[in-house]
Amino acid sequence: MHTLQDNDVWFVRLPDGRVLRSRNTVSLRYHVRRGRIPPTSRVRRSATDAWQTLQEVEELAEAVAIAVARSHKNNGHLNPLGRMRSRSAFQEARLLGVRGLVPELLDALDSSLNRAKMGVACLLGMLGAIGWITWDLLNATLKENEEWWIVAASGWAVLLLLAACLGISAITQFTAIELSKMRQPRPAELWPSVLGQTVRLAAALLLVVGGGVGLILFLRWLPVWLLPQPADNPSWSYAASAALVLRLILEVVFWPVIALAPLLLSPILVVQDYGVLGGVREWWRLLRQHLGRIFLYEALATTLAAIFTVPLLIPIGIASWPMGIFDGVVHADGVVQAAVIVLAGIALTPLIAYLLVANVFIYLNLRFEFFHSAR
């Protein structure tokens, strides 16, 4: 299933006559904006279409303006014929790495302040709060009935996962179409793709997060299993110690990786239109090649998100702190705690919206940093 458009392929004719193929509008706009495709290039959809300048295409006009402004700022001026002094000069003018991502993260901040995205993010925050409250209720009411607890907890987890993936997919898809078409998506463009994307994202998260959590649980169980072995063989004790050290090291690595899975998997599945296994492979490839940069990018994005989210949490903390215990009012404490949790979930709206939008920009920066003519 194609997510952005059924036929979103572009053919690009460079000023030197070479013809390249771009997989979709998102990547083409990214290359144009970052200066990897000269602004005097021409594009067309198919061999039967006429070549158009980049400025003539509505989806690419703004990207051309940004690229030209950056080239002038970096002394990559155009000559009277409208051509760059050299293709290498144009490419050298662009910013790479962290310096190049900071403007992208600021663009993501502006993109996240959209009523539709903020609304979906608010629902996601409320969903997380309700999930927390429901989990506590399940533990309190069904902890003595193990079979019913397993059934209820499994159903709760599946519904929560699908609902969360629906919201994540909606914001990611909205942002991808917005970047591709330079306008807000129409419902007919958004929702049919989002429903399929939700299922694929849920399956990918089960594979990645479930596999990671399963491995961690196995490594936690392994030392406990090794220690009761015969005491006359000290090798069992050494093996248990080694398993314990391995578990600690892997947990330090795995928990942040698992936390990054929902953020990067969604733009991978949307922008590149991958299936479940293909998306997981691409996600793993990015982690292997750019793990350090991904952590740095996510830290920058999280810091920006916290700057304008913490002020929303402070009033909730101030308002709930002096309440104390309502003497003589049955279940008042539980009601107050639930209300505070829901308010906190709503206050996380800017953080959720920004992180989801920013990871679309982060993925584009990582995936398309270098232009390959084979695309």
Residues 124, 200, single domain; the answer is yes
Per-residue pLDDT of 228-280, as tens digits, reads 655 566 677 777 778 888 888 888 877 887 777 778 899 999 887 888 999 99
Tell me whether strands 10-13 and 42-44 are parallel, antiparallel or unpaired: antiparallel
Determine, yes or no, domain membership for 334. no
The separation between CA 339 and the C-alpha centre of its own chain, rounded to angstroms, equals 29
Smallest CA-to-CA distance from 33 within 113, 90, 110, 111 is with 90
Question: What pLDDT, on the 0 to 100 scale, is given for residue 350?
Answer: 94
Residues 21, 117, single domain; the answer is no
Determine, yes or no, domain membership for 194. yes
Determine, yes or no, domain membership for 337. no
Residues 65, 108, single domain; the answer is no
Looking at residue 161, its amino acid is L
Residues 82, 228, single domain; the answer is no
Place 119 in a pLDDT band, splitting at 50, 70 and 90.
Answer: very high
Residue 143 has pLDDT above 80, yes or no: no
Residues 152, 129, single domain; the answer is yes
Question: What pLDDT, on the 0 to 100 scale, is given for residue 95?
Answer: 40
Decide which of 51, 67, 94 is a domain's last residue: 94
Tokens of 228: 């009761």
Q: Find the domain containing 260 and state its range.
A: 101-309+348-367
Tokens of 17: 């006559």
Determine, yes or no, domain membership for 247. yes
Residues 149, 265, single domain; the answer is yes
Determine, yes or no, domain membership for 321. no
Residues 27, 153, single domain; the answer is no
Determine, yes or no, domain membership for 315. no
Question: What pLDDT, on the 0 to 100 scale, is given for residue 229?
Answer: 58
Phi, psi of 13 (to 5 degrees): -105, 110
Residues 113, 29, single domain; the answer is no
Residues 81, 117, single domain; the answer is no
Residues 71, 112, single domain; the answer is no
Residues 71, 117, single domain; the answer is no
* Count: domains in the chain: 2
Cα–Cα distance for residue pair 116/87, rounded to 1 Å: 40
Tokens of 41: 């290039």
Smallest CA-to-CA distance from 140 within 342, 343, 338, 317 is with 338
Residues 105, 175, single domain; the answer is yes
DSSP letter, residue 329 = -
Per-residue pLDDT of 156-177, as tens digits, reads 888 999 999 999 999 998 998 8
Decide which of 71, 94, 117 is a domain's last residue: 94
Decide which of 94, 118, 142 is a domain's last residue: 94
Determine, yes or no, domain membership for 338. no
Q: Are 269 and 200 in contact (CB under 8 A)?
A: yes
Place 204 in a pLDDT band, splitting at 50, 70 and 90.
Answer: very high
Determine, yes or no, domain membership for 167. yes
Cα–Cα distance for residue pair 244/48, rounded to 1 Å: 64
Looking at residue 315, its amino acid is P
